[in-house]
A and B are shown apart, each in its own frame.
Chain A
Amino acid sequence: MEIIISNSNNSPIYEQLYTQIKNLIISDSLKEGESLPSIRNLAKDLKVSVVTTKKAYDALEAEGYINTMHGKGSFVAAKNTEILRETKLKEIEDYMEKIMNIAPSCNLDDDQIIEMFKIFIKENQ
């Protein structure tokens, strides 16, 4: 599990933690049922506050990404529809990113890409 906390990052540590763990789950780097490090150990390893780490875990739990069993720790939850949707969205974003990466080599600017996409959608309907 790879998490990088940056102090110079403008977003609070809580958010960095939350987003990164969420992305790890959505991208399937963390598989269903896999156990997460304990709040305390993660906090100590990352050298961040325990309270903050707990908050991030609580938020992840509230949104159904992880389950916490008392005394056993936290595990990646089975993906529900909301999470699945997020997963697909993430996949789409990844493709889009690829497009954006290739586009400059064909001298396409943003507007041209959007135009291409509109034509593509029309043809497929």
Chain B
Amino acid sequence: MNAIEIRNIEKNYQGFKLDNVSFDVPKGSIVGLVGENGAGKSTIINLIMDIIDCDNGTINVLGKSNKDKNFIKTKQDIGIVIDEAYFPEILTIMNVEKILKLTFENFDSNYYFELVDKYKLPKNKILKGFSRGMKMKFGIITALCHKPKLLILDEATSGLDPLVRNELLDTLNEYTRNEENSILMSSHIVSDLEKICDYIVFIHKGKLVLFEEKDEILKKYGILKIVESDLVNIPTNAIICKNKQSFGYQLLILKNEVSGSYKTELATLEDIIILLSMGNM
């Protein structure tokens, strides 16, 4: 079962095209959506939530088409944090609780205040005075307290200091301890995704470059630094892309296609993403 199924979606804007993108968010997993600014991450999330229409393709969320008349019922089981979109800043945490209670059938006030206390957020101050970190923490709280089965986060960890980021990642990690719960999170900070994701979706200029299990990616790819004269010894089918530097080449290679005499370096997800996007220029 997949929490989200995206099949061949297309969307055309002036100067931008989301081109035949398909991927899944398997139930119980955390899927990271990576891509540079403007790659199409937010467009994908908008398409999933049916805020905008696809030109082509289908999207199923929690087993239902997002074009279903009752999609609003499905939304009861979705928690979502959108970058820079909050409750009106004149409200307080106490006010928002009342609103959420009327919004979500399964809203759990105890859990809400438990998290508010855990994150040490002020209950009676208006949101206007919150820092970005506090706003994001609060955003995640508002998305979690109705026990959603699917959590969608759009750039929820960007612009936060490392401590807060870790706290949030821990919360997300805990959330998926329940195997019914799934997360789709977009970010351009690859290291955040590397920490907690099970699968990685990499979008580059509106095209799907990679949809694979994270550990499989890390196992499969390696980095090889060699001088130009050695380049001929590397089988061409092993080279995913090469980056010429002043003293030689930096190659992204398939580890199992290269003989042991060349020592490959461990590639982080970030290295892989950067080299892959160079290869797709």
Q: Classify chain A's interface size.
A: 10 to 19
Majority secondary structure, B binding face: mixed
B195 / chain A contacts, CB cutoff of 8 Å: 47
Count of chain B residues near A, Cβ 8 A: 18
Task: Check B219 against A50 for contact (C-beta < 8 Å).
Answer: no
Say whether A13 faces chain B, with CB atoms less than 8 Å apart.
Answer: yes
Interface string of A38-64 (1 = CB under 8 A from B): 001100100111111000000000000
Task: Check B215 against A52 for contact (C-beta < 8 Å).
Answer: yes
Majority secondary structure, A binding face: helix
Say whether B79 faces chain A, with CB atoms less than 8 Å apart.
Answer: no
Contact of A44 among B173, B197, B219 (CB under 8 A): B173
Say whether A81 faces chain B, with CB atoms less than 8 Å apart.
Answer: no
B76 / chain A contacts, CB cutoff of 8 Å: none
Task: Check B198 against A44 for contact (C-beta < 8 Å).
Answer: no
A48 / chain B contacts, CB cutoff of 8 Å: 215
Given A44-B174, A51-B213, A14-B219 contact (CB < 8 Å): yes
Cα-based distance from A47 to B266 in the complex (angstroms)? 19
Cα-based distance from A49 to B176 in the complex (angstroms)? 11
| Least Cβ–Cβ distance between B200 and chain A, in angstroms | 10
Interface residues, chain B, with chain A CB atoms under 8 Å away: 28-29, 173-174, 176-177, 179, 195-199, 213-215, 218-219, 266
